[in-house]
Amino acid sequence: MADTDAESVRTESQAGEDPFHPLTELSPEQLRALIRDTSNAVSTLKAETEVFEKFCKRLDAADLTPAPITEAGPPSLDFSQMRSRRRSKSRSTISERLFSLSVEQKCELVQRELEESKEEARKDKENADRLVQSLQATMEEAEIRRAEIKKATYEFERDIGRAAVSRKTGTSVAPDKILRYLEEKTRARDSLIDKLRLKNASLKVHKKKLQMQLKQKEEMGEVLHEVDFQQLKIENAQFLERIDERNQDLLHLKLTTGDTLQVFNSYKKKLQNSTMESCHLDKEISTRSEMLRRIECETHLVEQERQKAENVNKKLRRQLSDYRVPDVLQYVQEKMEQDQLQKTIRVWERKAEIAQLSLNTRGRAWEQLKGAGNIQCYTQPAAGH
């Protein structure tokens, strides 16, 4: 659209004697729109010109020869042909004609520029990767070297530096120890160099073998081509998608496992609480059972006592039912007889006590008489003699 507007303005300006006569009839809004479209068209032409100049710089001198222009049809220009511009001495008489590229040529030009840009980006990326690898290798080598130097410094300080000067005597150690230490380090370094040389030689041999195998495969046609690499990339992308899906499934399963583990821990805690409560209830049941057994024993004893008491009660009830209350006069008379008998009993008990006392007195007197009689019996035979 911008190209058509610019061409229309150019043709109108070239057709009349006054180039600015049609512009004077336009309104300010139309002029601003025309200026905006013209600026866009100019920026587009600048971008196309830059792309075309870059393309021309990559061409050889032999490719820059212009092709002949045929009368029929539009001019078929190659990418090496430049736009021809015919300029006249006066604008009013001769118009300016531009031979530009067709849309197909522009598309092909842009496509080739895009391929060249991709190739340059790929080369830049390869160079950057090689540079990064080189820098990483240099950093690793420097880190290894720094670690070796640090280790050697520590070993030297441990073996030689601390013992170089005695703190007690202040005398220096003989330099033979330092020389032996340096000779040992030199021999160790030489042995390491020999090992690395042998390893380097073995790696070179292995490299030659791999190169020979690669050459044989190239001769036999077993080397992978670009199509095979593209197929491998597609398969790799598919496998990566599958790996992502499996990782997502694994993450989901991990989350499910975490939830299940939480539920399992909660049920495990409930089971522990239930087990503890069950043990407590078992103990309480055993205690209650023992208490129940004791209560049953006591109940049996109480039942026996109740049976005995009931029997006694029945007997007393039978006696109470057979009991007959005597008359009052008879009760008084029997009461008087009971009092008389009690008085008689107390009198006789008193008499018995007196008789007991007299008996005891007579017994003692009798004992005394017996003792006196025995003494006389002992004394009479002695006098007759």
Helix/strand/coil (H/E/C) assignment for every residue in 102-114: CHHHHHHHHHHHH
Query: pLDDT, tens digit, for every residue of 120-135?
Result: 888 898 899 999 999 9
Confidence of residue 379 (pLDDT cuts 50, 70, 90): low
Q: How far is CA 253 from the centre of its chain?
A: 14
Compute the Cα dihedral for 261, 266, 272, 275 and give only its sign. Answer: negative
Indicate whether 138 pLDDT > 80: yes
Q: How far is CA 162 from the centre of its chain?
A: 47
Question: Which residue type occupies 139?
Answer: M
Question: What integer best gives the mean pLDDT of the chain?
Answer: 77
* DSSP one-letter string for 248-294: HHHHHHHHHHHHHHHHHHHHHHHHHHHHHHHHHHHHHHHHHHHHHHH
Residue of 221 and 183 predicted with greater confidence = 183
**pLDDT at res. 80:** 39
**R_g of the chain computed on alpha carbons:** 70
Q: How far is CA 212 from the centre of its chain?
A: 50
Q: Buried (b) or exposed (e) across 116-131, using 16+ Cβ within 10 A?
A: eeeeeeeeeeeeeeee
C-alpha closest to that of 259 among 330, 251, 122: 251
C-alpha closest to that of 78 among 117, 39, 44, 104: 104
**pLDDT at res. 288:** 92
Phi, psi of 119, deg, nearest 5:
-65, -45
The CA-atom distances, in angstroms, between 262 and each of 249, 253, 301 are 20, 14, 58
**pLDDT at res. 377:** 58
- Dist CA 155 CA 162 (whole Å): 10
DSSP character for 91?
Answer: T
Task: Quickly tell me which residue has 């009830």 as its tokens.
Answer: 317
- Dist CA 154 CA 161 (whole Å): 9
From 91-95, 128-132, 193-197, 361-365, the region with the lowest mean pLDDT: 91-95
From 143-157, 293-307, 316-330, the region with the lowest mean pLDDT: 316-330
- In the chain, the N- to C-terminal Cα span, in Å, equals 198
Query: pLDDT, tens digit, for every residue of 106-116?
Result: 788 778 878 88
**pLDDT at res. 175:** 73
pTM, whole model, 2 decimals?
0.33
